[in-house]
Structure 1
Amino acid sequence: MSSFDVVVIGSGPGGYVAAIRCAQLGFNTAIVEKYPTLGGTCLNVGCIPSKALLDSSHHYHDATSHFKEHGIDIAGEIKVNFEQMIARKQGVVDQNVTGIKYLMDKNKITVLEGIGSFEDATHIKITKADGASETVEAKYTIIATGSKPSSLPFIKIDKEKIITSTEALKLKEVPKHLIVIGGGVIGLELGQVYLRLGAQVSVVEYLDRIIPGMDAGLSKELTKVLKKQGMKFYTSHKVKSVERSGKGVQVHAENAKGETITLDGDYALVSVGRRPYTDGLNAEAAGVKITERGQVEVNDHLQTAASNIYAIGDVIKGAMLAHKAEEEGVFVAETIAGQKPHIDYNLIPGVVYTWPEVAAVGKTEEQLKEAGVEYKSGSFPFKALGRSRASMDTDGFVKILADAKTDEVLGIHMIGARTADLIAEAVTAMEFKASAEDISRMSHAHPTYAEAVKEAALAATDNRPIHI
């Protein structure tokens, strides 16, 4: 029987980062993965492939909508080679998962392919696809089994016409009408991919706005921009049924007044969130508790009820974000090593990779109001930036929320070009307890999109932005 200091179950961003950090700290480490490729949902059927398609479709959209104004004339009709687009996406995925295998080899981490199942708190059975199995011994175990797409009880996912994000990433054709059930991050990103490629896209959302977990101002602006691009929204609509209809699908939904709408499309993308994945883990055998929501129960040290077993990422409480999982992977590895790491969950940024991009960190206005915190707000529109005018990316704004008395930044919310990258400045500033005035007095290169952050800070400090 093979023995290891640490066994990590799951090779997604949380799992493989945890394994690498454990190896760096001198632990004899193994990682268990049920699929032939490493990287989990994020690298195989999530973050990476969706961004590849977003970038490809963005290029096509620019070519058809903006190149002429930029003085770029292309002879002949611009066409989508969808087969090549999907192939390029897969190539990007392959490069990334190969890179993870290289990192495992580099750090001398043993890769065990199969389903990991606890026999007890220190023994894990690895069952391979052909039914063969082996048992390994682990002094410590890190559960990083991630999540799977959720559905609604009455919806039958057939993976052909009624699909999840996994199937949406490998369609054989551009839909004529894609009905997206759920106005969250995944549905909007994939919806915009196919919208750019010529599909009619309709989004049905139960709540009264899209991206409901983010600041209401971001939701309002993104709705306005996506509507301008041609996306249709049915907010405050409860889906009542989704069924196959001829060669397509039919979705029935009801609004708050009890009025019913019927949408006919050729695909329905069910994007109502994700659920923790613990299937086959046999957690109870190790003394690990699973909550009513299907999450692995952990304490503030991410330790389960079994003191030598930890859990990280989507399988525990909190936002289901790859970078959150990575931070938790490092946190647990260093905790096992006797160090004193720290994670500030308030400073884990959230991003929507539509165009314009949406990004946020810290508290929203709604949260501050609910908590009774006195705050001040400063905003600056991208349309007032020289850089935005030069690139024709003028949609969006940056908003900074600061404590009314101390001026400490409490939240930064942005929608616009490259905000997925700009949010790192916000996280850095808040990590060091910056005030709005601190940010306003930092030199920002000109012309850049980042100047919007400085200008918003000036607006929040004493309402004195320069360029508006």
Structure 2
Amino acid sequence: MADAFDLIVIGAGPGGYVAAIRAAQLGKKVAVIERRPNKALGGTCLNIGCIPSKALLDSSELFDVTNHKLQKHGVVVDKVSLDLATMMKRKDGVVKSLTDGIAFLFKKNKITPIYGTGKLLRDKSVEVTDADGNKTTYKAENVLLATGSESTELPFLKFDGKQVVSSTEALSFEQVPKHLIVVGGGYIGLELGSVWKRLGAKVTVVEFLPRILPVTDGEIAASVQKILTKQGMEFHLDTKVTGAKVQDGSVTVTAEKAGQPVTFEGDKVLVAVGRRPYTANLGLDEAGVTYDKKTGRIAVDKQFRTNVPGVAALGDLIDGPTLAHKAMEEGVAYAEIISGHKAHFSYEFIPSAIYIWPEVASVGLTEEQVKATGREYRIGKVPFGPSGRARAMDEPDGYVKILTDKATDRVLGVHILGPRASDLIGEAVTVMEYRGSAEDIARCIHGHPTLTETVGEAARAAWLGAAIHA
């Protein structure tokens, strides 16, 4: 038996490393187990998810702006070429700087990193198998499961890592695909599809449902499809993929639409149909942890405790959206709970963002969800077109949509399609967390000229029934 700890965290992703740091700050002796062979901390988000995808989105957006928008600003560039290797090197550099930053924080907070695959045993013990196959058992007062999630593989469209890929491989193509077929119209498929579309690929999105972005406000989703179609992305909705054949470096995807067979031919297929909890070899059955065999989600109470005393879980392993910031705040709350502090965590106002361009960001209820409650509501919707800042940026597309309770004016949901929507949504999260109203937003003075003015205008429209500049 190796050293004992107050807390052992299995998984160094956003939920796990944040929980570890906060627990260490509160005086706990903490160890974190990470299975990545390169010993990189940060989990899927930092290594093969949020961060590298955003690095490529920003780089590809600059490439697209240089090709199509600079001349309108009076900036003339004679020849633009793509150095994909340098773009990938920059992406990897961004990732390394952040993973190294977490390693520094571990050292600063005296957290012990343990590299290998962790398996939960009974009696709050964890067995770690290192790269050489050696096994060591550690004991802790508390064990936190934070192993995150993995891309969902379709049984009839299995990943081969070359032609049929997950989001991981789609972040590291050595060449721009001639034709990228994206199976799934969710945010991951649209973000990575946008990267490769900007860099020159033909992109076709095949979606089983009659709409893209199924958990997004319906009106916003429809507007996104129109904008992305204008950008050159092709959509096939109500289309069920049934299989694929790889031959001579190309892929033929078979599908059905309205009962008729259809095929799509490309050189890469990105399967982006969601993510599922990563619990392989975690030892849940042996330790007696209750979880849903179908979804893989671990059952926990409001304090993240499983049915096994001393064992907790958070992040993508439990119910709720698979978002890094959700896992991070759960990590903070969990660490404070086991340290004897009161912790507040609200699942009602978790923002989401989709980093296509223009961006999409939301918090609260969609219009469909508000309708389902049967309550009377108001909508304040104002486009970015009248915004002086948006016009100066040459980014007039999109709008802010605010939903309020008709009787109380309380904000029920905010949905933004437009430039820097991911930054703008923060104001709405704050107001909604404090149960604020559209009047509260409207009466706050928004700087001029800024994009935030459009949020204020939409709030005024919801509150008074009319905006000033729309």
1:110 corresponding residue in structure 2? 112
Q: Is the 8 A contact 1:121 1:309 kept in 2?
A: no
Identity of aligned residues (%): 49
Aligned equivalents of 2:409 and 2:110: distance in 1? 48
2:21 corresponding residue in structure 1? 20
String of CA shifts for 1:407-432, please: whole Å, max 9, x gaps: 00010001100010111111001011
Where do 1:258-269 residues align within 5 Å? 258-269=259-270
- Once the 2 structures are TM-superposed, how far is the Cα of residue 261 of structure 1 from its aligned partner? 1.6
Q: Is the 8 A contact 1:303 1:311 kept in 2?
A: yes
> In structure 1, what residue type is equivalent to 2:315?
G
> In structure 1, what residue type is equivalent to 2:278?
Y
1:64 corresponding residue in structure 2? 67
Comparing 233-242 with 104-113, which one deviates more in the overlay? 233-242
Aligned equivalents of 2:213 and 2:464: distance in 1? 30
- Once the 2 structures are TM-superposed, how far is the Cα of residue 449 of structure 1 from its aligned partner? 0.8
SS state at 2:73 partner: coil
| RMSD of aligned alpha carbons | 0.9
1:450 equivalent to 2:457? Answer: no
Task: Return 5+ residue gaps in structure 2 as ranges.
Answer: none
> In structure 2, what residue type is equivalent to 1:146?
G
2:45 corresponding residue in structure 1? 42
1:291 corresponding residue in structure 2? 292
Where do 1:102-181 residues align within 5 Å? 102-181=104-183
> In structure 2, what residue type is equivalent to 1:264?
E
1:51 corresponding residue in structure 2? 54
**Normalising to structure 2: TM-score of the pair?**
0.98
String of CA shifts for 1:184-222, please: whole Å, max 9, x gaps: 011000000000001000000111111110100110111
String of CA shifts for 1:30-58, please: whole Å, max 9, x gaps: 00000121110000000000000000000
> In structure 1, what residue type is equivalent to 2:347?
Y
Q: Is the 8 A contact 1:121 1:306 kept in 2?
A: no
2:371 corresponding residue in structure 1? 369
Comparing 63-72 with 290-299, which one deviates more in the overlay? 290-299
- Once the 2 structures are TM-superposed, how far is the Cα of residue 385 of structure 1 from its aligned partner? 0.7
Where do 1:388-467 residues align within 5 Å? 388-467=390-469
Q: Is the 8 A contact 1:24 1:107 kept in 2?
A: yes
Task: Return 5+ residue gaps in structure 1 as ranges.
Answer: none
- Once the 2 structures are TM-superposed, how far is the Cα of residue 156 of structure 1 from its aligned partner? 1.8
1:87 corresponding residue in structure 2? 89
Aligned equivalents of 2:288 and 2:342: distance in 1? 25
Where do 1:141-290 residues align within 5 Å? 141-255=143-257, 257-290=258-291
SS state at 2:400 partner: strand
String of CA shifts for 1:241-300, please: whole Å, max 9, x gaps: 122133210111212x21222110000000000010011110233331121211111112
2:352 is aligned, of 324, 334, 350, to 350
SS state at 2:175 partner: coil
String of CA shifts for 1:225-253, please: whole Å, max 9, x gaps: 10010000001111111221332101112
SS state at 2:451 partner: coil
Instruction: State how many pairs are aligned.
Output: 466
String of CA shifts for 1:54-94, please: whole Å, max 9, x gaps: 0000000000011101011123x200101111111111111
SS state at 1:26 partner: coil
**Normalising to structure 1: TM-score of the pair?**
0.98
Aligned equivalents of 1:233 and 1:142: distance in 2? 41
Where do 1:294-313 residues align within 5 Å? 294-313=296-315
1:31 corresponding residue in structure 2? 32
Aligned equivalents of 2:410 and 2:55: distance in 1? 37
> In structure 2, what residue type is equivalent to 1:422?
L
Aligned equivalents of 1:40 and 1:155: distance in 2? 25
Aligned equivalents of 1:408 and 1:23: distance in 2? 39
1:314 corresponding residue in structure 2? 316
